[in-house]
Amino acid sequence: MKIHGPNQTNFNPYKKQIQKQQENQNTNSLKDKVEISSKAKQMQEMNKAQAARKEHIEQIKNKVDAGEYQVDANKTAEKMIDFWTNR
């Protein structure tokens, strides 16, 4: 004679405890991890340099508008020669 209770398949009281432990292990292994690459760090440094460059350009623009900016022709010529001769 077989007697089947209403929830006989879920009778194991340790099953829930084991399932909770497995869920905790799964959630621990699925945590997100963020790492910033060296290229991203370089890009951040470039952004800082660009901000400093913009400030320098604004200063030059203000001097040009005020008529105070003086160009050194010799220095400009030297840099052009260096550029074209690949020094």
Where do the domains of the chain lie?
42-84
CA distance 16 to 34: 33
Q: Band the pLDDT of 34: cuts 50, 70, 90.
A: confident
Q: Band the pLDDT of 7: cuts 50, 70, 90.
A: low
The predicted structure's pLDDT at residue 73: 94
pTM: 0.40
Q: Average pLDDT, stretch 33-51?
A: 87
Q: Band the pLDDT of 4: cuts 50, 70, 90.
A: low
How many Cα neighbours within 13 Å face the side chain of 47?
6
